[in-house]
């Protein structure tokens, strides 16, 4: 997550119009906490409240439930070595490491503040945090091919050839679990100044389908985790994304 002041102001304006004062207060608290720790560069859940069911604001729910779903998928896959690409402050990396049976989980981020927070609050014996540029993820891994890469809200910040190179790192049959904002048409000049590219769904799937098999939408495994959010809030937070790429 990377919220420029103009985007924060726009979000708050929408909340003032569309939401109750109580909902606005919850949202403002989330934004202030995230800015206090990360200057808006990554989401920071309250310590001890890393479960999406503890929250009512969409931002917290969207960030937290994706990792719960990813853990369900990774458990079903029996993944042993997992990379959390753009791990931020480490709450998702920790969730993966505690949910699976003795995997090796690598949390990779280029933000020193994020990794300092992760090391302080989300350390575990089967987690290794690395400071590294995601444009060259291969240089941050020296322990063999991972069986899974998890990356949320990341590829929109990178050149396509950079993150597509991650697929070469995966072990045969390995998976990439991916979520990124989807648009009606792919944009190389997104309104968010921190994004390099925002993909149309069909274009994103086409990029990946040339290299392996893609599951998304109603075909996603462990879909019930995401649908629990849709049922609770009477909406479709997760209609088509996230998606899973499987290397052939």
Going from N- to C-terminal start, the domains of the chain cover 61-247
Non-local (6+) Cβ contacts of 43 within 8 A are: 1, 34, 59, 60, 63, 88, 89
Which residues have CB under 8 Å from 26's CB, separation 6+?
55, 56, 57
What was the pLDDT predicted at 56?
Answer: 80
Question: Under DSSP, is residue 232 helix (H, G, I), strand (E, B) or coil?
Answer: helix
Q: Outline where DSSP puts E strands in the chain.
A: 81-85, 104-109, 127-131, 148-152, 175-179, 182-183, 199-200, 212-216, 243-247
pLDDT tens sequence for the chain (248 residues)? 444 556 556 655 665 556 667 766 766 776 676 766 666 678 889 899 999 988 887 788 889 999 999 999 999 999 989 999 999 999 999 999 999 876 889 999 999 999 999 999 999 999 999 999 898 887 656 667 899 999 999 999 999 999 999 999 999 999 999 999 999 999 999 888 889 999 999 999 999 998 999 999 889 999 999 988 888 776 667 777 799 999 98
CA dist 218 and 233 (Å) reads: 18
Contact between 163 and 149 (Cβ < 8 Å): no
CA distance 170 to 26: 39
> In angstroms, rounded to a whole number, what is the distance separating the alpha carbons of residues 159 and 147?
23
Residue 72 CB-density burial (10 A; 0-12 exposed, 13-18 middle, 19+ buried):
middle
**Six-digit token pair at 141?**
């891994």
- In words, the CATH class of domain 61-247 is alpha beta
DSSP 8-72: HHHHHHHHHHHS-HHHHHHHHHHHHHHHHHHTTSS--PPTT--SGGG--SHHHHHHHHHHHHHHH
| Alpha-carbon Rg for the chain in angstroms | 17
Measure the CA–CA gap between 126 and 119, rounded to whole angstroms.
Answer: 12
pLDDT value, residue 14 = 63
């Amino acid at each position: 997550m990377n919220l420029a002041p103009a985007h924060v102001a726009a979000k708050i304006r929408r909340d003032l119009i569309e939401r109750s004062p109580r909902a606005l207060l919850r949202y403002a608290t989330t934004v202030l906490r995230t800015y206090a720790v990360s200057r808006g560069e990554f989401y920071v859940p309250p310590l001890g409240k890393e479960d999406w069911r503890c929250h009512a604001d969409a931002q917290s729910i969207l960030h937290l439930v994706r990792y719960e779903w990813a853990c369900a998928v990774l458990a079903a896959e029996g993944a042993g070595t997992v990379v959390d690409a753009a791990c931020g402050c480490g709450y998702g990396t920790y969730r993966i490491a505690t949910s699976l049976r003795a995997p090796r989980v690598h949390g990779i981020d280029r933000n020193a503040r994020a990794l300092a927070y992760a090391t302080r609050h989300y350390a575990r014996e089967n987690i290794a945090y690395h400071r590294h540029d995601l444009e060259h993820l291969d240089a941050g891994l020296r322990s063999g091919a991972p069986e899974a890469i998890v990356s949320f809200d990341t590829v929109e910040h990178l050149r396509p050839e950079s993150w597509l190179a991650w697929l070469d790192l995966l072990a045969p049959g390995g998976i990439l679990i991916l979520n990124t904002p989807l648009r009606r048409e792919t944009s190389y000049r997104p309104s968010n100044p921190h994004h390099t590219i925002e993909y149309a769904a069909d274009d994103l799937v086409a990029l990946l389908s040339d290299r392996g098999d893609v599951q998304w939408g109603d075909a996603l495994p462990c879909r019930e985790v995401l649908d629990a959010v849709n049922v609770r809030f009477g909406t479709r937070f997760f209609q088509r994304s996230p998606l899973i790429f499987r290397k052939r």
